[in-house]
Amino acid sequence: MTRASKQPDRGASNAVRKRAPQTAIAALNGKLYNIHYDYVVVDDPDGSGFLVYALGGKSSGEVVLAGHFRVTVSADGEKAERIDALSRSLNVVPKQGPNGAKTAALCMVQLVSNVPVETFIYLSNLNHAPIVIGPPDRNIWEVKDGKMQIVRNRPSAPGR
């Protein structure tokens, strides 16, 4: 995703791949937040088509940590097969701390999965900053240098 997002065509390199983001945009009608989105096309790992990411972006001084979507699009680029909201809300944070202080890490609570979603790798790479994520299972994850790992494994309480 990071590599495709840096290409001028954002992964839409031929007619079929150019159709895929248009299909995703139509499927996401009424679901997006009131922010700018870039659409990045990558091959679906299962080999059946494409994943189109709607990646939220704000000003250069902000990071959209949550508010992104993933649309699974058919191999012909014409059918949206699945829409995944990669968060339950929009979360925009400043890149720097007060008085321009360098941010040591970005932090977020994620409610959609016990494993951080893949957009955190993209955001960490894009912003050259680690991201610390707390999912529902109460483990703490760190995304840094293109990798995700649990940095604090917190066992569930009895009865959970």
Does some domain include residue 21?
yes
Does residue 157 register a pLDDT over 60?
A: no
What distance lies between CA 128 and its chain's CA centroid?
Answer: 15
Q: Residue 47 has what pLDDT?
A: 84
- Report if residue 160 sits inside a domain: no
Query: What are the angstrom distances between the C-alpha of 134 and each of 21, 47, 54, 127, 150?
Result: 31, 31, 23, 19, 10
* Domain boundaries, position 33: 2-152
**Is 65 a domain residue?**
yes
Provide the number of structural domains found in the chain: 1
- Comparing 160 with 19, the larger pLDDT belongs to 19
Q: What is the pLDDT of residue 8?
A: 93
Other residues' Cβ atoms within 10 Å of the Cβ of residue 49: 19
Q: Is residue 44 part of a domain?
A: yes
20-60 confidence digits (pLDDT tens)? 999 999 999 999 999 999 999 999 998 889 999 999 987 77
pLDDT at 95: 81
85 within some domain: yes
- Asked if residue 54 is part of any domain, the answer here is yes
In a domain, 158, yes or no: no
